[in-house]
Structure 1
Amino acid sequence: MYMGIDLGTSEVKVLLIDAQQRTVASAHAPLAISRPMPQWSEQDPADWWLATKTAIDTVVREHPLAMAALRGIGLSGQMHGTVLLDASGRVLRPAILWNDTRAGAECAELERRAPDLRHITGNLAMPGFSAPKLLWVARHEPELFARIATVLLPKDYLRYLLTGELISDMSDASGTLWLDVARRDWSDAMLEACGLRRAHMPRLVEGTAPGGMLRAALARDWGIAAPVVVAGGAGDNAASAVGMGVVAAGDSFISLGTSGVFFAASDAYRPNPAQGLHTFCHALPGQWHQMGVMLSAASCLRWVTALTHAADEAALLDEVEKAGPALRATAPLFLPYLSGERTPHNDALASGVWLGLRHDTDRASLGYSVLEGVAFGLRDSYLALRDAGGDVRTAALVGGGSRSRYWARLLASALDVPLTLNSGGQVGAALGAARLAMLAADPGLDVARVCVAPAVLEAIPPEPEWRAALLPRHERFRDLYRKVRPLF
């Protein structure tokens, strides 16, 4: 048996699979976000551990015999968060999360201190990354900063409690701005720019490698008979890719969740920081990936549903679809930057904009414009991937937004890329973590045989009529951002 633990922003998911990758059990426990100040987003790491134990206890209670046969645990987690420990291993402050944008000024400071940042890390300095957050702590909480002994990423704090080991993997570490992504090692220059040393960092392993052993006391509590290896694991998107079988060059997926992600696997290091493209190590040795990220995707649909008092998201989507193709000519343009934006703008101050509101603008028009705006944001990511040499032939569509066939057709046409809807997409990260556990527990397994793609349920091709209407609107969408950016 193999377990995947996925530490998300809104919940912890646990998935237990057998050697044939059949689902044996799953459980989840919710998490809450604290926003004590504008632009802040924090969580208490103790809540992560409580939620993890709650979910695992559910599996233990309902499937004790399966848990007794557990051989490996894989970890997946939200990236970029900062868990600061003192010399005794105690948490010094709430974790600053990936969607916290307070460190905008520190990004400029980091670029000044480390002029080779983009060359070393393959990425721009963005407020969501770990390194600017540490500069913010050093500036605003200097006494606390002086007490930092170790900096961990969210999933690796769970590993610390599970194993007692201070370890991270290459994919998650890529999102810190402390990793030399081409060399797959910590960068002394980037650490020094933040007042840190290698001694502050966890040991690095590949995602498929052992990253500690489960504590004996926890194994006894959970009724596990034999030693359990904990895999290096992965950041959430790399783990989702492993779960989706997106492991070879040319494989890709699009996630329409709270945020939006366009992920493409690569067999080489091909950065494009100028357009805000993320270039990270993959969870597999010798592999990298390119990733365009927009901070608000399906969350925009939730927002406009509440704003327009639609019954629910499904009702609004139905209303949009019934309004017909005229919306592609008459609907307002929408910039979906409700939380700032990463790819391609790296603009923490960007905000949502509607252009073209009239007396006859109705709820369906507003709903359509939001769906289209998110699709255009993902097209921007696709263009950045293509400019970096990414080869995307087709992409699997996952996440909550993938449940809408209308949105899928709109997205395929805006991208001019065929999309697929696959089985099992909703447990991608937890499944990917469990697969990494399999590979760590049995190094003789073939990666290609373990990391297979789920069955394709439906193919969504681009539609020429939609594409002809959408591409000119996308050019206006890009021009709109350029025109209003000075006003943010």
Structure 2
Amino acid sequence: MTPLLVAVDVGTTSARAGVLTRDGAVLARAEAPIEIRREGAERAEHKSENIWASVCRAVAEAIAKAGADTETIVGIAFDATCSLVVRAKDGAPLAVGSDGDPDWDTIVWLDHRALAEAEEARATGHRVLDFAGGALSPEMEIPKLMWLKRNLPKTWQRAGYMFDLADFLSWKACGSLERSQSTLTSKWSFLAHEAEGWPADFLTAMGLEDLRERASLPRHASPIGHPLGTLTAKAARELGLPKTVIVGTGMVDAHAGALGVLGAFANQPETIDRHLGLIAGTSSAVTALATEPRPAPGVWGPYFGAVLPGIWLSEGGQSASGAALDHIIRVHSSGAAPTPLMHAEIINRITQLRSQCDDLAPRLHVLPDFHGNRSPFANPKALGVISGMSLDASFDGLCKLYWRGAVAIALGVRQILETLNARGYAIDTLHVTGGHTRNPLLMELYADATGCTVHELPDADAMLLGTAMAAATGAGLYPSLADAATAMRHASVTREPDRSRRALYDRDYAVFLKMHAHRAEIEAML
């Protein structure tokens, strides 16, 4: 019988599962919601048991949709957001919120309660920052752990296990306390390229000298796809899978997406630095790989082995991309709820307007940093800017603003890739997957505004595909993760840039850079 794989992708509000073949074909997908509790703008929490229950429901539904014989399923792996799960010495959930409710035991990745701790870490100037884009984000685990120890000392004293969410799911599945090289290098300041990966002096300086004991952290990290063991009897029952299913080491969700779109070049390390992965939806993750470390300002990493063994990952992004266009629709007087139909109506009208005037709204310019700038400025406090607004409140006025917002999103990607190229990359090809593949304006702009060849993966689910590659490797279907990634690649549609429009976008890019500079000057005055 043909062996099958289960891949699980846990996001902010839902858990998704897919059943895939060994060549990467997706037979079925299913999704189950997960609970999230918000407290103001900065705090957000999950229940890890609720997440596990949603994972089990999604897996069961995906298997049913696929009509799969569970006896043919040989491997499973998990990717997830970089949320922090805290458990007691007996494995019970521990409270991470001010109300002391232990069910809420997980600090969500987007939680910014540890802003002060992140700034404190940045001020040390420690060498770990050279492998984190020059600063720790409050979304990473070290600042969150500092906050936890300082503000919830009883939780800290009772803690026996602390996990990145992907590692927690692997632990629930097979009981392994091994941790992924993806999660540890990118979120826990683990230096996988050094013999002693844990920077003891840095942890001590941050007041976390007892972290390894409290969190039950291993001395070494496990590479993606490393077999962690088979399912426990309890997990097998809950997932509806045989106990013989092997759990492969998982990863952070963005890294799974990077593996899904860039893993195809795993056996071409000498040219892998020409390719940029763009996983684009509400926000955008930008990923680049190289055979040596190439640190760049405002770009997370470089992280050793976070996606492929022996390869360094640099990770940038846009905090709001699709969300920025949604916001434009929502706040304009001629807008409405940003539904797919509303987007389509706007895009159709923009196409008509551009047929009459190729250079649409040339005096209107946007900085789309409505939720901060992740790359290349690493400024979570940055705000968006719209220059050139008139009193035009018509639907056409909305369309022009939407168009210029889309141009700005593409120019932001250009700025990130130019930042990377200045540090030794030779990026000339974009690999795009996610919701933006359904927006023809953005897909056109990613080619024309950056000057890159674009490979569009409209039918690929990059996160599930990358995670299935890890599952296939763990199950022994391929001799290495690189071989799995090469064999399971998805076909793409190629788009070449329209060189005739280069001068227009060069002009827009010059304005874009000026606006960033002026915004920085204004912020310095406040």
TM over 0.5, shorter chain: yes
Query: Whole-Å Cα distance in 2 between the matches of residues 71 and 227 of structure 1?
Result: 7
Shift of residue 467, structure 1, vs aligned partner: 2.2
2:362 corresponds to 1:347 = no
2:311 corresponds to 1:287 = yes
Query: Whole-Å Cα distance in 1 between the matches of residues 248 and 172 of structure 2?
Result: 14
CA contact (8 A) 1:409 1:461 kept: no
Select which of 177, 201, 217 maps to 1:202. Answer: 217
Deviates more, 1:12-21 or 1:192-201: 192-201
Paired position in structure 2 for 1:400: 435
CA contact (8 A) 1:423 1:455 kept: no
Q: What per-residue deviation string (whole Å, max 9, x for no partner) do you get for residues 360-386 of structure 1? A: 471112111211221122122112211
Name stretches of at least 5 consecutive residues in structure 1 with no aligned partner: none
Q: What per-residue deviation string (whole Å, max 9, x for no partner) do you get for residues 87-118 of structure 1? A: 22223224223323332222221123463232
> What SS class does the counterpart of residue 317 from structure 2 fall into?
strand
2:196 corresponds to 1:187 = no
CA contact (8 A) 1:277 1:385 kept: no
Query: Whole-Å Cα distance in 1 between the matches of residues 91 and 328 of structure 2?
Result: 43
Q: Give the alignment of 1:56-455 within 5 angstroms.
A: 56-62=59-65, 66-79=69-82, 81-92=83-94, 93=96, 94=104, 95-113=106-124, 115-119=126-130, 121=132, 123-183=134-194, 185-196=197-208, 197-199=211-213, 200-203=215-218, 204-220=221-237, 222=239, 224-225=241-242, 227-246=244-263, 247=266, 248=269, 249-250=272-273, 251-272=275-296, 274-280=297-303, 281-308=305-332, 309-310=335-336, 312-324=342-354, 325-360=357-392, 362-422=397-457, 424-425=459-460, 427-442=461-476, 445-452=479-486, 454-455=489-490
Q: What per-residue deviation string (whole Å, max 9, x for no partner) do you get for residues 256-280 of structure 1? A: 11211221122222222x3334322
Identity of aligned residues (%): 22
Q: What per-residue deviation string (whole Å, max 9, x for no partner) do you get for residues 52-103 of structure 1? A: 0111221344557522222111111113x21122222223224223323332
Query: Whole-Å Cα distance in 1 between the matches of residues 364 and 175 of structure 2?
Result: 54
Query: Whole-Å Cα distance in 2 between the matches of residues 225 and 135 of structure 1?
Result: 40
TM score, norm. by length of structure 2 = 0.85
Shift of residue 134, structure 1, vs aligned partner: 1.9
CA contact (8 A) 1:191 1:198 kept: no
Partner AA of 1:319 in structure 2:
R
Query: Whole-Å Cα distance in 1 between the matches of residues 216 and 365 of structure 2?
Result: 45
Partner AA of 1:472 in structure 2:
R
Shift of residue 321, structure 1, vs aligned partner: 2.6
Query: Whole-Å Cα distance in 2 between the matches of residues 225 and 168 of structure 1?
Result: 23
Structure 1 residues 90 and 391: CA distance shift in structure 2, 3 A: farther
Partner AA of 2:250 in structure 1:
G
Q: What per-residue deviation string (whole Å, max 9, x for no partner) do you get for residues 278-322 of structure 1? A: 322333221222121111111112222222325622222222232
Structural RMSD (CA) = 2.5
Q: What per-residue deviation string (whole Å, max 9, x for no partner) do you get for residues 183-225 of structure 1? A: 3833323332333332225332100211232112332455544
Deviates more, 1:304-313 or 1:372-381: 304-313
Q: What per-residue deviation string (whole Å, max 9, x for no partner) do you get for residues 142-201 of structure 1? A: 333333332211112212221222232111222214211533833323332333332225
> What SS class does the counterpart of residue 28 from structure 2 fall into?
strand
Paired position in structure 1 for 2:100: none
CA contact (8 A) 1:260 1:378 kept: no
Partner AA of 2:212 in structure 1:
R
Paired position in structure 1 for 2:37: 34
CA contact (8 A) 1:393 1:417 kept: yes
Paired position in structure 1 for 2:517: 482
Name stretches of at least 5 consecutive residues in structure 2 with no aligned partner: 97-103
> What SS class does the counterpart of residue 451 from structure 1 fall into?
helix
CA contact (8 A) 1:178 1:187 kept: yes
TM score, norm. by length of structure 1 = 0.91
> What SS class does the counterpart of residue 122 from structure 2 fall into?
helix
Paired position in structure 1 for 2:498: 463
Select which of 9, 15, 18 maps to 1:15. Answer: 18
